[in-house]
Amino acid sequence: MLEGDMDMKYKIIALDIDGTLTNSKKIITDATKEKIMEFQRSGGKVILASGRPTMGIVPHAEKLELSKYGGYILSFNGGCMIDCKSGEILFQQKLPLNVIPEIMDIIKDYPVGINTYEGENIIAGKTINEYTELEARINGMNIKFVDDFVGYVSFDVNKCLLQGDPSVILELEKILSEKYKGRLGIFKSEAFFLEIVPYGIDKAMSIDRLLKMTGIRTEECIACGDGFNDISMIKYAGLGVAMSNAKQPVKDAADYITLSNDQDGIAHLLKKVFRHKSIATSYRTIRRDS
């Protein structure tokens, strides 16, 4: 795997946002921004791949000038793919609405909240807890609570999110994964967040779809993340990178572990990529210097 890669050029980098691109204060630091801009000025493309709704990603895309350099947004864990330069939605897959009443019935006796997204609002049902409020703060969105979640959500949605204590989320993950096997994607993005998405939607499959559209090869792609929902793209990419603040299963999936999000881990990685004055690098060089 490591032989013959000295001339490999990485042309695109997929970045998770929370815990990866941004620090603990949810900020892209100047050091990280500068290295990403350098990557783009050298011809590299940037994908912001997150479980966040589109509205929660756009401010970061604007800060990194993705519309100028032809970057992409993969929101809802890849359920919506946007070309930042043209504003075109390249791909979108919606959650089957008929599963929402079933899910509400399953969770009715559990102390969890459920939400989806409408424009600039997080639509919350059942209850609002500390994790619902965290989701709103992360994305800079307002919470709109509705008494009748099933009746209100009559429009197309990309995903639903359950929020609650990690032990409860773990139990519901097992229940829903068994019930909807082969029908829905059920996975944790954080210990307290359970994602419910259309079947076949994850970051790796969406990045693969995008690379086929652009003609970029898998081995020319770097993917960086820290959460459970980043594992698929880390395994998929030519160079899979975990942050040092990542969960252990994420680190186990990675080719390379960079510094934490509070130590400008993405900037640290890109410094190695640019060591030889271009995007050219190798697995061996990066691993040896870690």
Residues 194 and 226 in one domain: no
Give the residue numbers spanning the domain of 67. 12-92+201-288
- Is 168 in the same domain as 224? no
Q: Is residue 7 part of a domain?
A: no
Each residue of 129-163: b (16+ CB within 10 Å) or e? bebbeebbebbebebebeeebeebbeeebbbbbbb
Q: In terms of DSSP H, where are the helices of the chain?
A: 30-41, 54-63, 66-69, 99-107, 130-139, 149-152, 166-179, 203-214, 231-236, 248-253, 265-273, 283-288
**Do residue 188 and residue 109 come from a single domain?**
yes
Q: Model pTM?
A: 0.86
Task: Look at residue 272 in the predicted model and tell me its pLDDT.
Answer: 86
pLDDT of residue 89: 96
Is residue 194 located within the same domain as residue 207? no
Is 88 in a helix, a strand, or coil? coil
One domain, residues 108 and 190: yes
Nearest to 245 by CA among 33, 19, 22: 19
The pLDDT, as a whole number, for residue 38 is 95
Separation CA 205–CA 114 (nearest Å)? 25
**Measuring CA to CA, how many Å separate 53 from each of 73, 138, 161, 225?**
10, 10, 11, 17
Q: Is residue 258 part of a domain?
A: yes
The CATH number of whichever domain residue 130 belongs to comes to 3.30.1240.10
Task: Give the pLDDT score at 275.
Answer: 67
The two structure tokens encoding residue 23: 């620090």
The CATH number assigned to the domain holding 267 equals 3.40.50.1000
Q: Do 22 and 140 lie in a common domain? A: no
For residues 217 and 141, state if they share a domain: no
pLDDT of residue 56: 95
pLDDT at 290: 46
Q: How many domains does the chain have?
A: 2
Say what the pLDDT of residue 197 is: 95
Task: Clarify whether residues 177 and 241 are in a common domain.
Answer: no
- Give me the residues of the chain with pLDDT under 70, please: 1-8, 275-290
Whether residue 187 sits in one domain with residue 109: yes
- Confidence (pLDDT) at 9: 84
pLDDT tens string 158-186: 999 999 999 999 999 999 999 999 999 99
